[in-house]
Chain A
Amino acid sequence: MTALNEEQSSLAVSTGVGVETPFKRFLSDYKESSVAVLGAIGVGVVMFIALFGPWLAPTDPYDLAQVSVLDSRLTPGETMMSGATAWLGTDGAGRDMLSAMIYGMRISLGVGIGSGIIALMFGCSIGLIAAYCGGRVDTLIMRVVDIQLSFPAILVALILLAVWKVKPNDPGYYAIFKIIVALVVVQWAYYARTIRGSALVERRKEYVEAASSLALSDQRVLFRHLLPNCLAPIIVVGAIQTAHAISLEATLSFLGLGLPQTEPSLGKLIANGFEYVMSGKYWISVFPGIALLFMIMSINLVGDRLRDVLNPRLQK
């Protein structure tokens, strides 16, 4: 397979979503794997829950006036003081688990994808610049990446917590911003390293030389020619990193640095469940884990399939 073919097929995918033939081909390729179709359905369900959560959830678990410790640790199916049934039981603070998981999924997904996209855009730009410029720029960037990769997420989050002091009239989403910033700081380096690696290989290929010899601007060569050809590994890393961001947020919650106590994400619910693992109150620790597993499995099944479909080297 020649470089020219590769360029054509990748470009077709990256620019041709609206064009009928390649998109149809993509769809039929995708549908060949039944597991991936299940994954896509799963992603659809997760998206639906995330978008319409407040209308789906039986109660509002973030409204302190509606939650009472008197309802805490009810087993699945018991009735809460408000008269509603806690189908999946309640947690240690008296929140209905089902509602808390629906709301939490929204936040976790938002935090995972939000931080993932920002980190991806930032990391990819930096990584591409490193690979394209080479020389001192590359060295400098890669050493910064080294530092970043060894800097523990918990320390980043801790510093943010101590320095970024929230005032009482700040809106509630500041806390989520804070976590997203911490996760971006931690994640961008992975993207930068990955895309630099594949860009270094691509850079030596004929099509880039061809583009350069046509006197196209650096920017154009970088983003129109190099980037699309490095997309396959980025999609995989992206799907994994989104998953990673969500569990990282859970880990930060586990260490007491995550989202607010009264507005738990799915990750925070899992962290809360940690202390109930030995207690026999399985619903507090296991259900959020299953929900997270479902969410991340779906995203990654889709990611895996996209990688296979989009990877020109596997198309025969």
Chain B
Amino acid sequence: MSVFIIRRLMHAIVVIFVMSFLVFSGVFLVGNPADILIADDADQAEREQVIRDMGLDRPFYEQYWKFLVNAARGDLGDSFVFDEPALQLILERLPATMELAVAALLIAVVFGIPLGVWAGLKPDAIPSKIIMTGSILGFSLPTFWVGIMMMLLFAVILGWLPSTGRGDEITYVLGFPTSLGTFDGWAHVLLPATNLALFKLSLVIRLARAGTREVMHQDYVKFARAKGLTENRVVMVHVMKNILIPVVTVLGLEFGGLVAFSVVTETVFAWPGIGKLLIDSIGLLDRPVIVAYLMIIVFLFVILNLLVDIAYSVLDPRVRLQDVKA
């Protein structure tokens, strides 16, 4: 097992390396950040000076080599836009995104599982059909459109919730700064988190329903019923236990996606997380930030995959880690 984990961590390093090269060269191809950052009325000499200061006058291989050498020392470079360490910029903003992703995950699970199980137990009842048809809504419309419509309805027309931004009060829970320690924080997170959760909510409903329907036909459920257990107990214990495993594993993987792709939600709701940082950085071709961000995200994905594989082997003895390793 530990050999397996060490091997996977080595893979992670290779993957991060490949990612850094892809992103570095990709952003290099797109254009020169100095062309966007520099003041309109700067003359040509000033332009050249700025390009030199950023090291962008050097050939590609030289820039990349310098990046690698610094990265090996733990320095992922300074942001072109802010001239602050890229890693620090990302870490400063990570808690806000984490908080949004966790809130979204909670919404997806708390609403998704009961609705999905219900739809799976009574597949032909009208409410189940409404649930299933409604769940299609979750991935039919682009996030930005649903987000702004929600803002229009709940913030502008009804005035129930704040429109944009994160709560003012930051409290520390286990050393992590969060705005969720106050009511105001929750009021702020509710709209963006729901917006971000919609897609996952549909997914959870679908997984839970599919799982329930399959499990209901299994012999052990029939046996449990035959034993005369109440329907509640059958559902809560026997069915739940068996559908939770796939739901939890898929969500484990999807959590990475939530963090990585909160880009649009954060932009619409002006949420000060790393998704907004990424989109702003792409807009200004702030290469050090983009590269550092994606290195972190791909690392997150690899680690989550690893955890899921380990979880499988723990939960299901038939899966041996040798099966999925090299």
Instruction: Tell whether A154 pairs with B282 under 8 Å between CB atoms, given A35-B133, A147-B15, A313-B217.
Output: yes
Q: Which residues of A contact B141 (CB under 8 A)?
A: 247, 270, 289, 292-293, 296
**In the complex, how many angstroms separate the beta carbon of B141 from the nearest chain A beta carbon?**
6
Instruction: Tell whether A314 pairs with B23 under 8 Å between CB atoms, given A163-B29, A289-B145, A300-B140.
Output: no
Q: Which residues of B contact A297 (CB under 8 A)?
A: 133, 136-137, 140
The yes or no answer to B139 lying at the interface (CB within 8 A) is yes
The yes or no answer to A178 lying at the interface (CB within 8 A) is no
Interface size on A, residues (CB 8 A): 51
Q: Which residues of B contact A154 (CB under 8 A)?
A: 263, 279, 282
Q: Which residues of A contact B132 (CB under 8 A)?
A: 304
The yes or no answer to A277 lying at the interface (CB within 8 A) is yes
Q: Which residues of B contact A169 (CB under 8 A)?
A: none
Chain A residue at minimal CB-CB distance from B264: A251
Q: Which residues of A contact B136 (CB under 8 A)?
A: 243, 296-297, 300-301, 304
Q: Which residues of B contact A149 (CB under 8 A)?
A: 256-257, 301
The yes or no answer to B129 lying at the interface (CB within 8 A) is yes
Q: B42-50, B148-156, B167-175, B230-238: which lies at the A interface? A: B148-156
Interface size on B, residues (CB 8 A): 53
Chain A residue at minimal CB-CB distance from B300: A150
Chain A residue at minimal CB-CB distance from B257: A149
Q: A15-23, A52-60, A131-139: which lies at the B interface? A: A131-139
Q: How far is the CA of A163 from the CA of B145 in the complex (A)?
A: 29
Main secondary structure of the interface of A (DSSP, over half): helix
**Mask for A248-284, Cβ within 8 A of B = 1, else 0?**
1011001100000000000100110110011000000
**In the complex, how many angstroms separate the beta carbon of A201 from the nearest chain B beta carbon?**
10
Instruction: Tell whether A147 pairs with B26 under 8 Å between CB atoms, given A250-B145, A278-B156, A297-B133.
Output: no
* Contact B139 A240, beta carbon cutoff 8 Å: yes
The yes or no answer to A210 lying at the interface (CB within 8 A) is no
The yes or no answer to A216 lying at the interface (CB within 8 A) is no
Q: Which residues of A contact B104 (CB under 8 A)?
A: none
Q: How far is the CA of A267 from the CA of B206 in the complex (A)?
A: 25
5 contacts between A and B (CB under 8 A): A146-B302, A147-B298, A154-B282, A243-B140, A314-B217
Cβ-closest 8 pairs across A and B: A296-B140, A247-B142, A250-B142, A162-B30, A150-B298, A139-B326, A150-B297, A300-B136
6 extra A-B contacts, CB within 8 A, seeds A147-B22, A155-B26: A136-B326, A143-B14, A149-B257, A150-B298, A152-B282, A289-B149
Name A's B-contacting residues (CB within 8 A): 35, 134-136, 138-139, 142-143, 146-147, 149-152, 154-155, 158-159, 161-163, 200, 236, 240, 243-244, 247-248, 250-251, 254-255, 267, 270-271, 273-274, 277-278, 285, 289, 292-293, 296-297, 300-301, 304, 313-314, 316
